Amino acid sequence: RRSQSGGYRGGVSIDGYRITSDGTLAFADQHFTIDRDGKPVVQFLRYRIRPDGGAEFTMVVFNVPSYERKGTSLVYKCSIGHGLSFFSSP
């Protein structure tokens, strides 16, 4: 991912994944981090890439240790070559 201002990039290694009967690639990730107030949170990230190259990234954040949902889900839509790229590792 890259911000609109070009200020950052990020990535994830795909371990487990699922390809549905319509050819959609789906995978997920999670990680612990801190929010803007310095409090611990866990982010759950879900990725769906359709056969036409369109993609959707959903992030849900929960407070730690209560696992109470924090705010609403964030959804980003992009496509391969326009906000999303794949790289293979050796």
pLDDT tens digit string along 13-72? 888 999 999 999 999 999 999 999 999 999 999 999 999 999 999 999 999 999 999 999
Full 3-state SS string of 20-77: CCCCCEEEEEEEEEECCCCCEEEEEEEEEECCCCEEEEEEEEEECCCCCECCCCEEEE
Residue 6's pLDDT is what?
57
Taking the C-alpha atoms of residue 69 and residue 52, their distance in angstroms, rounded to an integer, is: 32
pLDDT value of position 8: 63
Tokens 């954040």 belong to 61
> Is the pLDDT at 1 greater than 50, yes or no?
no
Annotated domain spans of the chain: 25-84
Residue 3 has pLDDT above 50, yes or no: no
